[in-house]
Chains A and B, each alone.
Chain A
Amino acid sequence: MSDLLRVTPSGLYCEAGGFYIDPWRPVERAVVTHAHSDHARPGSKRYLCSSACAPFVRLRCGEESAISCLEFGERRTINGVTLSLHPAGHILGSAQVRVEHQGEVWVVTGDYKTEPDPTVEPFELVRCHTLITECTFGLPVYRWPEARTEFERINAWWAANQSAGRTSVLMGYSLGKAQRLLAGVDAGLGPIFAHGAVLGPTQAYRDQGIRLPPVRPVSEAPLDVDWPRALVVAPPGAEATPWMRRFRESATAFASGWMAVRGIKRRRGVERGFVISDHVDWPALMEVVSATGASRVLTTHGYSAVVAKHLSERGLDSAPLETQFRGEAEEEGA
């Protein structure tokens, strides 16, 4: 029997159901796990995603995109294949895709994390026969500290910058990470501003009822603004642009899982790093793999070959899957 899902030149394909999951080329029918650029690409005829994800897919793929939505847990049968979406905990609306055909269950995790995060629906464990899991941080050196302690460190950094007279510029991916940062910092410390790229997704989070502190656009800051008191949330890459000049003296920091490794921090020339990741770390990855009960595990993103080899040694049927997902590329530092 051929595989229920397989990699084709256009992306991960379900032949029996006639749909793709996060295709990297335009297709007839695309099921989208979440709206990061390596998963949601413009040009497909029809999109299917979670209701919470839809506004972000519109932002990414165009207002006029034909999107139909599924609630989490809701089942839809396409050509005899039953499809449902389950929270992945990566960003708001991010989903794992469960595909069932003739009693065989596959789950595609998309990007996911199991850690609690007030800005997303909590990760749901879905049992399956075959699991396709991401491995962005699939090395045992990645073990996240508690987000709470990292946020304490961020607050302390912000406060220290305030006394040193430096504007705190905190970098994180504009969709997902930025909102998680906004929700996690102590907004009582001072005013919060955001780079333009962060504002759209932030409004979309608010529209869905996620509570976030007041955020003002940097571009609309009054002339006499006291920058050193402020926290500025910006996407990675902003630190090397003229945009930064307005803050004069600034302290920059990155929030990313990659910041767990000093060498990566140094290679990126990061002044300060906070280990806040929207992906699973090694222990969580191992836990999820085993709790799904899957006997076959296909791996994508990042350290897929390493994880597959490790799981094979543990007696699972495991192999890397050649995809074009990048997760969070180290060089992006997102």
Chain B
Amino acid sequence: MKRFVHLFEALDGTTATKEKVALLRAYFEEAEPEDAAWAVWLLSGNKPKGSANRTRLAAWASEEAGIAGWLFDECRSAVGDFAETIALLLPKPAGTRESGSLAESAAKIESLAVLDETGQREVVLSAWRGMDGAERLVFNKLVTGAFRVGVSRDLVVRGLSEALGVARDELAHRLMGDWRPTAEFFSSLTDGASTPLDRPYPFCLAHPIAGDPAELGAIEGWQAEWKWDGIRAQVIRRNGTTAIWSRGEELVTDRYPEIEQASRLLPEGCVLDGELLPWGEGGPMPFNQLQRRIGRKTVGAKLLAEIPVVLMAYDLLESDGQDCRPLSLSERRDRLAAVVNEAGHPFLLSPTVEAGSWEELGALQRSALGRGAEGLMLKRLDSPYGVGRRKGAWWKWKLQPRSVDAVLMYALRGSGSRASLFTDYAFGVWKGHELVTIAKAYSGLTNAEIREVDAFVRANTLEKIGPARTVPPELVFEIGFEGIQKSTRHKSGYAVRFPRILRWRRDKRPEDADTLETVASLFEPLE
């Protein structure tokens, strides 16, 4: 635990990327495999499977500190952070103590999931008593699900790659899909052994194009496709079974039974990358139709008939059991076309958009909306399939971007018929590893979604500030707006006009939300 706490503090104390990578490397080189596995898990934004509720934690901490409940609240409003309040409040540990390893602490936290209140109390108190203030802070953050560190997943992979001597792209791949933090898993990162059958590849992500696309060079070197407004997914067919992974690395096979069924017609050892789209008679349906299916673990026959889904396939990552990402896009495209044509509906081949010049392509780009797309994707024909968001090969050329992905920061009660629900929200984007508010919005969600967000707010309230309740940064929403202005009202320095919630981005992690730089880059083109 000590070593991980030092890492947490050191990462917290620097903004320099190189230094962060060096810290991660040093940690992974020294830590025991099981601890290292947990560190990768936690630093990648995963949580332990257990937790304890804040009311109980506050009561146990107050008891330990010998103070009344109201005094705990005073402390919390002075400190601002729940986990830290408890860490500071607790009496110093007495005599010799053994805080144990990170893995042991994590195991304690996971055990909370199956314990009753008395059992939980015992586990938490004994953990607290063995720890110093810094360890308690990290432990409390883990136990309340509020653990966050200012490192991207990419940085974790870089540090790990240096420590293990395994190439970054390969490691990113080995870290995909479902895995549990164990010593065995950590060792398998080095030798690549024990690959789970349904492991997806890291998604290749596009950068928004900033300037004139013509600067990309001759148009002949590029493939243009429509940018579809659906859910990015990989369909994996190996060993006679199918796995569908969303871009948020969630296994969603059960939610798209029509795709799973049809995937039996895919060849063995085949991985498709594409967009899950609601598709009616005449083509793509609006995204909000798909939203009706997203939140459900299982889909009824009625919904299946009303909102059928297709996979608009645009890349082939594996064929005949071979990783074909190193092949050029044009080669992969040929193979993809063959696979998709053979399998047929609901697998569609994402059509290329042909144009003789960038001007001509620009005209087509402006027609995207009428085709149910939100712009164009530009992909270099001679490029391999990259890992993550690397510049150069894939660009998204959206219609005037008037939306940002922002994180829910706090909520207020609605008015009128919604007065009993938390329906008014404030959203933030990342400025370094801090969120700054960019917009307030209260419309755009379905009633079912509102109830779900309301329940989230109630269960996860960090602090009550007047009528507002702050929540941990977990939920990501796409916020549409009419324009961006400079503003002193919002901490971000910008305000969006007529903000509304376009959709709940369940497929995105909080760290995938937009940054203040992105917002700033949207500012000029609109004015």
A156 to B92, alpha carbons, bound, how many Å? 24
Segment with Cβ contacts to A, from B67-75, B196-204, B247-255: B67-75
Do the beta carbons of A263 and B80 come within 8 Å of each other? yes
Which of B68, B80, B88 is most buried by chain A, counting CB atoms within 10 A of its CB?
B88
A140 to B61, alpha carbons, bound, how many Å? 11
> In the complex, which residues of chain A have a beta carbon less than 8 angstroms from the beta carbon of B75?
139-141
Closest chain B CB from A67 CB (angstroms): 38
Do the beta carbons of B67 and A260 come within 8 Å of each other? no
> In the complex, which residues of chain B have a beta carbon less than 8 angstroms from the beta carbon of A272?
13
Partner of B84, one of A140, A263, A303: A263
B434's nearest neighbour on chain A, judged by CB, is: A266
Binary interface profile of A, 240-270, with partner B (CB < 8 Å = 1, else 0)? Answer: 0000000000000000000011110000000
> In the complex, which residues of chain B have a beta carbon less than 8 angstroms from the beta carbon of A141?
75, 78-79, 85, 88-89
Partner of B71, one of A260, A261, A310: A310
Do the beta carbons of A140 and B13 come within 8 Å of each other? no
B interface: dominant SS: helix
Do the beta carbons of B79 and A310 come within 8 Å of each other? no
Kindly identify, within residues 34 to 87 of chain B, every residue whose CB is under 8 Å from any CB belonging to chain A. Answer: 65, 67-68, 70-71, 74-75, 78-81, 84-85
Binary interface profile of B, 12-30, with partner A (CB < 8 Å = 1, else 0)? Answer: 0100000000000000000
Do the beta carbons of A143 and B13 come within 8 Å of each other? no
A313 to B65, alpha carbons, bound, how many Å? 15
Do the beta carbons of B74 and A261 come within 8 Å of each other? no
Do the beta carbons of A260 and B74 come within 8 Å of each other? no
A262's nearest neighbour on chain B, judged by CB, is: B84
Do the beta carbons of B74 and A139 come within 8 Å of each other? yes
> In the complex, which residues of chain B have a beta carbon less than 8 angstroms from the beta carbon of A140?
65, 67, 71, 75, 88-89
Closest chain A CB from B418 CB (angstroms): 32
B78's nearest neighbour on chain A, judged by CB, is: A139
Kindly identify, within residues 125 to 153 of chain A, every residue whose CB is under 8 Å from any CB belonging to chain B. Answer: 139-143, 145
Closest chain A CB from B440 CB (angstroms): 23
A138's nearest neighbour on chain B, judged by CB, is: B74
A313's nearest neighbour on chain B, judged by CB, is: B68
B84's nearest neighbour on chain A, judged by CB, is: A262
> In the complex, which residues of chain A have a beta carbon less than 8 angstroms from the beta carbon of B85?
141
Do the beta carbons of A261 and B68 come within 8 Å of each other? no
Q: Is A306 an interface residue (CB 8 A)?
A: yes
> In the complex, which residues of chain B have a beta carbon less than 8 angstroms from the beta carbon of A260?
88
A303 to B92, alpha carbons, bound, how many Å? 22
A187 to B356, alpha carbons, bound, how many Å? 74
Do the beta carbons of A262 and B71 come within 8 Å of each other? no
A232 to B85, alpha carbons, bound, how many Å? 33
> In the complex, which residues of chain B have a beta carbon less than 8 angstroms from the beta carbon of A263?
79-81, 84
Closest chain A CB from B115 CB (angstroms): 27
Partner of B67, one of A145, A261, A262, A310: A310
22 intermolecular pairs with C-beta atoms under 8 Å apart: A139-B71, A139-B74, A139-B75, A140-B65, A140-B67, A140-B71, A140-B75, A140-B89, A141-B85, A141-B88, A142-B88, A143-B91, A143-B92, A145-B133, A260-B88, A261-B79, A261-B84, A261-B88, A263-B84, A272-B13, A309-B71, A310-B68
Extra pairs beyond A272-B13, A309-B71 (7, CB < 8 Å)? A140-B89, A143-B88, A143-B91, A261-B80, A263-B84, A306-B71, A310-B71
Measured CB to CB, the residues of A under 8 A from B are 139-143, 145, 260-263, 272, 303, 306, 309-310, 313
